[in-house]
Structure 1
Amino acid sequence: MWLTKKPCTTREVTEFWYSAFPWSGKSLEQVENEVIDRVATLIIEKGEPMEGVREVLDFFQKKSLRIGLATNAPARLIPVVLNKLGISKYFHSTSSSEDEVRGKPHPAVYLTTAKKLKVNPSKCIAFEDSLSGIIAARKANIKTVAVPHQSEFTDKNTIYLI
């Protein structure tokens, strides 16, 4: 299963691990919630913004552009991240793929966010740090900037446009 379809949402990952290594005593939902709770704790304790995030958000805010967040993360982690990083004020809309039929790389979460922002997806720009996100944005007809993890930069003067 892992080689043919990489799990993307927390639910899909939990289901994958249960199918590979079934456990007893806790439901899938209980385990999923424990994972989400642990991730929330780690975000609060150790979360740091990627370099340049605030500057990019400031730039688009000053241009009076609407900013949305389309994520595979569970909806309840969105405010945890935005509050921890002090960036919630920038976002006009947020969407979680847990509210969609399928998560990224399916484009649904991007299409939902664009709809909430009342912007045609072809007029949007996505900043993505994952392959599944890049695929989702492209399927939604959104121009995409790939933002690899800092350890993957070979030339800091390179801009990745997909």
Structure 2
Amino acid sequence: MSSDFSVTHDDVDAIAAWTVVRAARELARRLDEELAPLGLTPVGFGALVQLAAADELNQAELARAVGVRAQSMGSLVESLATRRLVARGAAPGRGRASRLHLTDAGRELLAAAWPRVLASNTWFPDGGESVARALRPFTTDGTVSARADGLA
């Protein structure tokens, strides 16, 4: 069965969402190289920085904040806890999710990682401001927030 469908590289490059996906993968690879000397991945950095910003989250909240599946957060949290970068706090009430918080060692590693990650803004012509502004309206659950200002 033959198809009359054809596509060019220009057609592919005109799909904004696919371009963002490809760019995100390349940026994650580059950020991974920057963080590797610290024994940290971009997702690990994301977990630490989200905990620093929120003070304390449960595992599901942390997964949403980082933008990963809750199932994949378990092994990351275990790894970070083993390295004593995060600690699990007792949750009030039976059956409640334990709360995670950053340890002093986690804060120290985050302080070392922060300038490396912040320097990634230089990868963009305007220091990343327009990219951050354009992508900020999108939430981690796939919806567009009210801050989209006409992007929805």
How does the TM-score come out when normalised to structure 1? 0.25
Bigger Rg, which one: 2
Higher RCO structure, 1 or 2 (CA under 8 Å, sep 6+): 2
Higher helix share: 2
Higher strand share: 1
How does the TM-score come out when normalised to structure 2? 0.26
